[in-house]
């Protein structure tokens, strides 16, 4: 009896292990087994033995596991992609069903909505209408304009957003946007011009989860929060990942003080008197306050220097967090003097208004909590004092690291602490 059996173990991004295809790297083997008179003879496409074959199969399976684990998604509030996974019951959602019909491979891998060579060029690489899928054709269903995407109820004010990073990378920044008032996600595919940036974290090391305290501005109705995770292109890779989070606003409002949005180059009184602020004077500029929210292009004075906000920021000391890609731009030294056509009463009124706003949102009085000690161990909800304010720990592991997470002074302190009140 003569029997010829030919088996192909082929993997183009797959490996064959006991007949089951699994994701892996590019390998090709062909094993031709001839059984002649029940005596097997093996001819090889490439010479190998059972040990080397099992080693290669093991290696490719490992590589496949690494590939399959890349890279991250927003797990709280749950992103559109995450909500459409089977683990979240996405199969029963009409919006997720429609997305699957239009193409939504993210239902199996919400962590893979990314662009390998993004390197900050998000708007040039992702066209309008394709933001939720990062212009990936197999995920185009995520871009559907519908009014029945699953939402999380939010209100104006600070809220934690959490990225779950299935593969950990060094980070250049996490960035958050929200749609402008009047945007209708039920009828309009998301465009870049619909978005307003509201938060950007600084650099961070590899993390399994990344939590950011994001200040949501006042809105009504349904909106989309758009988040970008940009890996560090210098020390890691230029890859970036993208997530759409559907939210609906409740009725509560935030008491977080927000700096005036008037143009930084002039201050106007109610009678129309205007003051031009020259580049070398601090006259008319508010003094930086850790409790106040600032956003681009607002300017402040701090330790005899002018600073302009690069992004949304609260509590990030301009002297410690300035630079092209940091919270503040250092505009150089400035003097307290200089000529100004603004009446002193107007300037005093503005300063008084800012102080009143801060006072209304942060309790005053002497604090009894212990002074923060850099590197000490802190649990969730621990209270400490630092730089004249009281802070509450929200992420114990980060609170205990100090340094970049030191309350009120570290560039990433808002990821670990919340401001409770002034101790003055």
Q: CA 344 to CA 354: how far, in whole Å?
A: 16
Q: CA 411 to CA 419: how far, in whole Å?
A: 14
Instruction: Return the pLDDT at 200.
Output: 93
Give yes or no for a contact between 262 and 270, defined as CB atoms under 8 angstroms apart: no
Per-residue pLDDT band for 217 (boundaries 50, 70, 90) equals: very high
Instruction: Return the pLDDT at 50.
Output: 42
Per-residue pLDDT band for 17 (boundaries 50, 70, 90) equals: very low
Instruction: Return the pLDDT at 375.
Output: 78
φ, ψ of residue 398 to 5 degrees: the values are -80, -35
Domains in the chain, ordered, with CATH? 2-68 (no CATH), 73-249 (2.70.50.50), 275-360 (2.10.10.20), 362-424 (2.10.10.20)
pTM reported for the whole predicted model = 0.48
- 3-state per-residue secondary structure call for the chain: CEEEEEEEEEECCEEEECCEEEECCCEEEEEEEEEECCEEEEEECCCCCHHHHHHHHHHHHHHHHHHHCCCCEEEECECHHHHCCHHHCHHHCHHHHHHHHHCCHHHCCHHHCEECCCCCCHHHHCCCCCCCCCCCHHHHHHHCCCCCCCCEEECCEEEEEEEECCCCCCEEEEEEEEECCCCCCCCCCCCHHHEEEEEECCCECCCCEEEEEEEECCCCCEEEEEEEEEECCCCCCCCEEEEEEEEEECCCCCCCCECCCCCCCEEECCCCCEEECCCCECCCCCECCCCCEECCCCEEEECCEEEEECCCEECCCCCCCECCCCCEEEEEECECCCCCCCCHHHHHHHHHHHHHHHHHHCECCCCCCCECCCCCCCCCCCEEEECCEEEEECCHHHHCCCHHHCCCCCCCHHHCEEEEEECC
Lowest mean pLDDT among 33-37, 128-132, 230-234: 33-37
Mean pLDDT of 412-418: 79
Give yes or no for a contact between 245 and 239, defined as CB atoms under 8 angstroms apart: no
- Residues 169-185: tens digit of each pLDDT: 889 999 999 999 999 99
Instruction: Return the pLDDT at 119.
Output: 93
Distance between start and end Cα atoms, the chain = 97
Per-residue pLDDT band for 38 (boundaries 50, 70, 90) equals: very low
Instruction: Return the pLDDT at 347.
Output: 36
Least Cα distance to 149 among 81, 236, 66, 70 occurs for 81
Q: CA 140 to CA 126: how far, in whole Å?
A: 12
Torsion from C-alpha of 391, 393, 397, 399, nearest 10 degrees: 0
Lowest mean pLDDT among 29-38, 46-55, 124-133: 29-38
Please give the share of the chain, as a percent, with pLDDT higher than 90.
35
Position with higher pLDDT, 382 vs 4 = 382
CB contact set of 375 (below 8 Å; sequence gap of 6+): 400, 401, 402, 403
Per-residue pLDDT band for 325 (boundaries 50, 70, 90) equals: low
Instruction: Return the pLDDT at 48.
Output: 39
> Is the confidence at residue 400, as pLDDT, over 90?
no
Please give the share of the chain, as a percent, with pLDDT higher than 70.
68
Instruction: Return the pLDDT at 236.
Output: 87
- 3-state per-residue secondary structure call for 38-49: CEEEEEECCCCC
- Most confident among 32-41, 91-100, 179-188, 274-283 (mean pLDDT): 179-188
- Residues 46-68: tens digit of each pLDDT: 443 444 444 444 443 333 333 33
- Residues 341-395: tens digit of each pLDDT: 333 333 333 334 433 333 333 344 578 999 998 878 898 889 999 888 889 998 8
Q: What is the mean pLDDT of the chain?
A: 73
Mean pLDDT of 62-78: 63
Least Cα distance to 250 among 214, 217, 225, 221 occurs for 221
Instruction: Return the pLDDT at 365.
Output: 57
> Is the confidence at residue 126, as pLDDT, over 60?
yes
Lowest mean pLDDT among 74-88, 205-219, 352-366, 391-405: 352-366
Alpha-carbon distances, residue 78 vs 3, 81, 215, 226, 234 (angstroms): 57, 8, 17, 12, 30
CB contact set of 74 (below 8 Å; sequence gap of 6+): 82, 161, 162, 163, 164, 227, 243, 245
> Is the confidence at residue 140, as pLDDT, over 50?
yes
The two tokens of residue 82 are: 């995450």
Instruction: Return the pLDDT at 240.
Output: 96
Per-residue pLDDT band for 108 (boundaries 50, 70, 90) equals: confident
């Amino acid at each position: 009896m003569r029997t010829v059996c030919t088996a192909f173990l082929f993997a183009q991004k797959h490996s064959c292990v006991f007949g089951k295809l699994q994701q892996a790297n590019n390998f090709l083997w062909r094993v031709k087994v001839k059984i002649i008179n029940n005596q097997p003879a093996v001819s090889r496409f490439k010479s190998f033995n059972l040990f080397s074959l099992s080693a290669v199969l093991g290696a490719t399976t490992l590589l496949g596991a690494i590939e399959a684990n890349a890279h991250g998604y927003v797990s709280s509030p749950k992103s559109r992609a995450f909500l459409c996974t089977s683990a979240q019951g996405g199969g029963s959602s009409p919006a997720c069903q429609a997305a699957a019909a239009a193409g939504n491979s993210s239902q199996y891998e919400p962590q893979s909505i990314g662009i390998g060579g993004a390197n900050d060029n998000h708007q040039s690489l992702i066209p309008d209408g394709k933001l939720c899928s990062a212009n990936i054709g197999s995920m185009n269903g995520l871009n559907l304009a519908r009014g029945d995407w699953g939402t999380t109820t939010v209100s104006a004010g600070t809220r934690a957003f959490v990225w779950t990073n299935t593969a950990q990378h060094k980070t250049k920044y996490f960035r958050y946007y929200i749609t402008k008032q009047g945007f209708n996600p039920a009828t309009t595919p998301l465009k870049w011009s619909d978005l307003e940036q509201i938060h950007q974290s600084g650099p961070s090391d590899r993390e399994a989860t990344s939590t950011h305290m994001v200040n949501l501005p006042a809105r009504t109705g349904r909106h989309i929060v758009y988040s970008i995770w940009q890996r560090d292109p210098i020390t890691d890779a230029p890859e970036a990942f993208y997530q759409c989070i559907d939210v609906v606003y409740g009725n509560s409002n935030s008491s977080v003080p927000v700096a005036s949005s008037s143009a930084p180059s002039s201050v106007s009184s109610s009678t129309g008197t205007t003051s031009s602020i020259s580049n070398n004077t601090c006259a008319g500029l508010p003094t930086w306050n850790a409790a106040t929210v600032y956003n681009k292009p607002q300017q402040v004075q701090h330790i005899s220097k002018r600073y302009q906000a690069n992004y949304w920021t609260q509590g990030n000391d301009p002297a410690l967090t300035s630079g092209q890609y940091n919270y503040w731009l250092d505009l150089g030294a400035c003097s307290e003097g200089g000529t100004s056509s603004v009446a002193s009463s107007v300037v005093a009124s503005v300063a008084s208004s800012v102080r009143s706003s801060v006072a209304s949102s942060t309790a005053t009085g002497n604090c009894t909590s212990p002074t923060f000690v850099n590197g000490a161990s802190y649990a969730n909800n621990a209270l400490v004092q630092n730089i004249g304010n009281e802070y509450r720990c929200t992420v114990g592991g980060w609170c205990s690291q100090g340094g970049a997470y030191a309350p009120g002074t570290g560039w990433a302190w808002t990821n670990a602490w919340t401001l409770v009140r002034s101790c003055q």
